[in-house]
A and B are shown apart, each in its own frame.
Chain A
């Protein structure tokens, strides 16, 4: 029997839905597992969990080491965000507005950390900080994280800056505002979605960064992913699932904020 075009497109659509569903499941299942396991009563991460408990959450929040690691992660991520935006903003302006030789090369240089394998950057930064005696400090964490977060921030700000009609800034200048006043009062509000998206990206990059952090970590200063990594090598406690859930939870929250901002401001970001 021949299929009518309608039936065919219905079949096609069904096939597409199924494939998409399977892929989504494949991507999301590990996350769902981890979250479920963090509430499971089995000490051995048995699935499906024989019962439900908040015991592991209790252990996580009462353990000073975990709490310190979580706090360190938050501190590093926030500082990384601040510095990535503070540096990314003038860099993006220079790359978009600047008319100087080597501008393209400079753009390549700043976005290089997106392409270079993380391990290479990690080893290089580690070697440098070892020599300077900065390993295991908050400073070394933030500097190394800013290196990998900066490309995301720069690209995000560049995109909104390119969409911004510069004659709006010129209009502010002719109205009596100095160039700096015009940028602060008119250009910044216009590119704010790009700046916020850049900040969120920087936060996320730092928040779940593990390769650089393992290199920078010391017994007195380690971030949550590092603590998970080292704990994992000693024993397989469901507290790790708790840490993972919290890590994922904050990441999802940040992504949702970014998505909400994008919806409110579809042109930029």
Chain B
């Protein structure tokens, strides 16, 4: 109870209020409202053209909103030029000053602020230590690897102790291994400094790895907001379900209290208020939440209470290392994928008849969706 009260009392550091950015008739950002808490690591996740980078640009001040408000601690930022916003930013292509040494790059914000030489040296030294580049201080950016350059960019963005750090796909240009190392460094850095970070990426795994909350962007709107866990386990809508991870969608007809029919066969589903008799609804089951059982297995293990079962035919079984997937088609023609850890085994062959089972509680129910929501590539204009 007290936690809830605290959350209500906590004032957000940044508030976006009905933010819009139009280019002619085109709405790049469409009426976004969002509160960012002090000290939070929030990620804008979306495909390119979904409005996430434009929103970040408006926060930085490089784009002016067509309408709406950006408030920091309750004061409007809209008419403050970018160099007076006291915001740190890390760019996708590092954007270091090529003619300056690592030390002078990091010292640049302090030099602009006319800090004394002694203070400058002290703070730059602290930053070099923080990003573990002490021995590279005299090098030029071109003499550093991509990962080192990005660490310099982070140090440059943090040295003047901004309240907010914006990061625009900062790790996009790095290879996978290095990216994961820097993600871990970044998460630790955030914990240590307690700074508010707004991070933009199109990589959902990166978003999950880094952030406390994720805002999912699509067509200039925020279509999902919450922790990675909640968004994945209980997607607020079919788009988020399809965008994050993999999903099986079953079209069913609702019948009364928690009951439905799928391809003529009765199923149980979560109690969902406001459904009309005979209304078409969508069930979403994550592949790893579903089980595929061969006919003998199904005969041996009775269907537990609170589970559904449908019959399907195996199309393909794929071995993916730590996991295996089995794609099946129901007799009504609905394609499903079942995923299991390799250790659990998957003794089916293509063409086998299998029983696909899932727990009623694990299937999300959507009463409204657009056909394009179920298309993974959707989200951009």
Complex CA gap A190/B96 in Å reads 11
- Please give the distance in Å from B53's CB to the nearest CB on chain A: 12
- B65 interface contact, C-beta 8 A: no
Q: Which residues of B contact A21 (CB under 8 A)?
A: none
Interface residues of A in 232-259 (CB under 8 A from B): none
Chain B nearest CB, measured from A169 CB (Å):
9
The answer to whether A170 and B95 have CB atoms under 8 Å apart is yes
Residue B91 CB within 8 A of the other chain:
yes
Query: In the complex, are the beta carbons of A174 and B82 less than 8 A apart?
Result: yes
Q: What is the interface size of chain A, counting residues whose CB is below 8 A from a CB of the partner?
A: 19
CB distance from A174 to the nearest CB of B (A): 4
- Return B107 CB to nearest CB of chain A, in Å: 10
Q: Mark B278-291, 1 if CB is under 8 A from A, else 0.
A: 00000000000000
**Count class of interface residues, chain B:** 20 to 34
CA gap between A162 and B13 in the complex, in Å: 38
B38 to chain A, nearest CB (A): 20
Interface of A, helix, strand, loop or mixed by DSSP: helix
Q: A173-B82, A177-B83 in contact; A168/B98 too (CB < 8 A)?
A: yes
B62 proximal to A (CB < 8 A): yes
Stretch binding the partner chain, chosen from B108-116, B185-193, B320-328: B108-116
**Chain A neighbourhood of B109, CB < 8 A:** 175-176
A176 touches B113 (CB 8 A): yes
Residues of B within 8 A of A178 (CB): 81, 83
Chain B residues near A20 (CB-CB < 8 A): none
> What is the distance, in angstroms, from A207's C-beta to the closest C-beta of chain B?
30
B99 touching A176, Cβ below 8 Å:
no
Which residues of chain B from 222 to 253 have any CB-CB distance to chain A below 8 Å in the complex?
none
Q: Are A172 and B88 in contact (CB under 8 A)?
A: no
Q: Which residue of B lies closest to A166 (CB)?
A: B95
**Would you call A181 and B97 a contact (CB within 8 A)?**
no
Sample of 12 A–B contacts (CB below 8 Å): A167-B93, A167-B95, A168-B97, A170-B89, A170-B91, A174-B85, A175-B109, A176-B86, A176-B112, A176-B160, A177-B83, A177-B112
Interface residue ranges, B against A (CB under 8 Å): 60-62, 81-89, 91-93, 95-99, 108-109, 112-113, 153, 156-157, 160
Given contacts A171-B95, A171-B97, A174-B85, 8 further A-B pairs with CB under 8 A are A167-B95, A173-B62, A174-B82, A174-B87, A174-B89, A175-B112, A175-B156, A181-B83
- Counting from the closest, the 6 A-B pairs by CB-CB distance are A175-B109, A171-B95, A189-B99, A176-B112, A174-B89, A167-B95
